Chain A
Amino acid sequence: MNTYTFFVTHRVEIFSTTLEHVELVLIAVVIAVAVATPLGIFIVQRPALRTVVLGVASVFQTIPSLALFGFLIPIPFIGGIGKRTAVVALVVYALLPILRNTYVGLTGIDAAVLEAATAMGMTPWQVMWRVRLPLALSVILAGIRTATVITIGVATIAAAIGAGGLGTFIFRGVAMVSDAVILAGAIPAALLALLADGLLALLERRLRVS
């Protein structure tokens, strides 16, 4: 079957699958941000934990994605077949870039600025909220951007454990040996990644200071 005709005849299904994919990615990234950003702030204040936390996040990152989905299936509560397992796996992947950038952003601030902030009588809390975080925002956002792009890609594999999304077409296409069907998953996924990357880059530039 011709790729173009496949896209036209299946446009409704492609569209709804894309939405499903976006939903998966959004949920995962939002959870990852909610976990990784506070954790990053925390390890800045507890340097002793830094190595452990970043180390664990790095190890997560090295697990092959298909294997991770597989590992999670038998785990009670978070595992099983379906969306929930997929989201857990995606969160695990998205953690490291956000965590690392949060840490780097918060610690990479001009020492003179921090010195002045403390010496002028800001509390540690005020230094964090009024100085460190605003100055680290663009770097943190860069981490979120990386995490989002990775998640859009990895989420295609989630179809292997029945979570839906654009991977559905890819796996089906591989089984059918049909380029058209594979592309029906791959092209929207690639476009999504480009779009997310562009939009977040734009936002990042806005937030950058100096």
Chain B
Amino acid sequence: MSSPSSAPINASIRFQAVTYRVDGTPTQATNSTGQSDGVRGAGVQGERAQGDSTQAVGGRTLVSDISLTVETGETVVLLGRSGSGKTTLLRLINRMLEPTSGEIFVEGRATTEWDAIKLRRGIGYVIQEAGLFPHFTVAENIALVPTLEKWEKPRIDARVQELLELVGLHSGDFARRYPRQLSGGQRQRVGVARALAADPQILLMDEPFGALDPVTRAELQREFGALAKRLAKTIVFVTHDLHEALLLATRIVLLEGGKIVAQGAPENFLQQKHPEVRAFASCLDTEDSVVRDGGEKA
């Protein structure tokens, strides 16, 4: 993952004319390609595909003809309404899904040519509600990938300590606690620490702060923004929150109905004329006016 040489690290992601389509047939038949991650991948993706789609019958194209390059060190925010295909794009990157057509290149190599397990261990992944293992302590959760990669114990312990500090959980006895003993914000911090544990060059984040209360969310967004700048990782961040996109992105990519409809740097994104950009911009205006008017109704 981390190359010691002076050669520049390639941590780019490139979508090349990618389409992903789910069959209308029962969900367990979605993935019968028999690749190495076979059964379990199919189960999880079946569940998710089901949850995402409003009409499973007859098949559905979740993303179509996506071409997009995320350069090393960029923070690209995939913005869009529910069902616009942003999570699907994310899951195509770490081969939780395989494209129906087209290819995704991670570090210059097609995902289908990567060993799925190796690819995923080299990519940090943070989801809403964190998805922490309830039977693992905070330290064990953070140590997940290093443990899978069979690091030696002292190295793991040191890394866990380092990460707890990085995400602001070093004081107290957080390491020994279980996820249920943490607040939502603390759990999400652990989720970020876990994703960073093996120092991946790429981070995927799927509405990581979506389930938090507004105050905690703002706090974590600010801190994460600063952290992201410092770490210089390639980050793909999924959200439906324009505020969040403007705050964290180096580039915003707007999706609608499985297609990219607009993209740009945060500074000029809002000037674009596309109706979906206007739709997102207008809800920003409404929110602001509510704040200006005192927000009694909020």
Contact = CB atoms under 8 A, between A and B. Distances in A.
Contacts of B128: 112
Interface stretch (A96-104, A121-129, A152-160): A121-129
Contacts of B37: 118, 123-124
Secondary structure type dominating chain B contacts: helix
A116 B131 contact: yes
A200 B28 CA distance: 35
Contact of A113 (B39, B43, B119, B134): B134
B194 A209 contact: no
Contacts of B120: 118-121
B44 A111 contact: yes
Contacts, number: 87
B129 A117 contact: no
Given A48-B28, A121-B118, A124-B40, A134 B131 contact: no
Interface in B112-138: 117-122, 125, 127-135
Contact of A118 (B44, B148, B204): B44
Contacts of B134: 110, 113, 135, 209-210
A3 interface: no
Interface residues of A, number: 27
Interface residues of B, number: 37
B129 A112 contact: yes
A39 interface: no
Contacts of B104: none
A115 B133 contact: no
A45 interface: yes
Interface string B141-161: 000110010000000000000
Nearest to A125: B40
A134 B48 contact: no
B96 A209 contact: no
A168 B88 CA distance: 64
B94 interface: yes
Given A111-B44, A122-B148, A116 B121 contact: no
B59 interface: no
Interface string A20-55: 000000000000000000000000011110000000
Interface of A: 45-48, 110-124, 126-128, 131, 134-135, 209-210
13 contacts: A45-B39, A45-B40, A111-B47, A112-B131, A116-B125, A118-B96, A119-B96, A121-B117, A121-B145, A121-B148, A122-B148, A135-B134, A210-B134
Sorted from nearest, which 3 A-B pairs have the closest CB atoms? A116-B131, A121-B121, A124-B40
